[in-house]
Amino acid sequence: MDEAIRSGKRQAAPFRKCPPSPKPDPKRPGRKSGDTHGTHEHRPPPSPEQIAECHAAHLPAACPHCRGRLVETGAADQFQTESPRQPLVRKFRVHIGHCEACGKRTQGRHPLQTSDALGAAASQIGPDAQAAATLLHTQIRPAGANGKAWGRNRTAIGAKA
């Protein structure tokens, strides 16, 4: 009887929580090992019909490390997808060589390239898309967060500076 009276009164302590029951078959934390965690995929290169521009990134005139003579040893393709109103895909034929004097590997660079990466990382977004993403991240916010971005200083995305 005393317990029933006490339970009806307001208690100073928070309500009692039941201890959590253990799960019957808990999963181990982390990534699954082997082939069970899925495939490791890279962005596939675009088809030849998708390529709108082709550029060559020639080797520099001399080795940038020691100014020695460069010998071209091959070339690799790098693709860049730009996202103006209609995506523009550029292909860069990057010439690769090595210095006869110091033996260091060197590759060409085109001004429109956003990265020197080749192989699995050879597809990137272009400079206009990177600028738009930066603008969205730093300047454009929802209407309540920053009125300046949506007021008189409104910026049109896709417009070139």
Which residue from 62, 61, 47, 58 is spatially nearest to 94, judged by alpha carbons? 58
Give the model's pLDDT for residue 83: 66
Mind listing the pLDDT tens digit for each residue in 20-71?
A: 777 788 888 887 777 777 777 788 889 999 999 999 999 999 999 999 999 9
Measured CA to CA, the distance from residue 26 to residue 7 in angstroms comes to 36
- Residues 65-118 have pLDDT tens digits of 999 999 999 999 999 987 666 778 899 999 999 999 999 999 999 998 888 888
pTM, full prediction:
0.42
Q: What is the pLDDT of residue 141?
A: 63
Residue 26, phi-psi category: left (phi > 0), alpha (psi -120 to 50), beta (remainder): beta
> What torsion do the CA atoms of 66, 68, 72, 77 make, to the nearest 10 degrees?
30
What six digits make up the tokens of 107? 């590759």
Among 97, 100, 61, which residue's Cα sits nearest to residue 76? 97
In contact, 76 and 121? CB cutoff 8 Å: no
What does the pLDDT read at residue 138?
Answer: 85
pLDDT of 69 reads 95
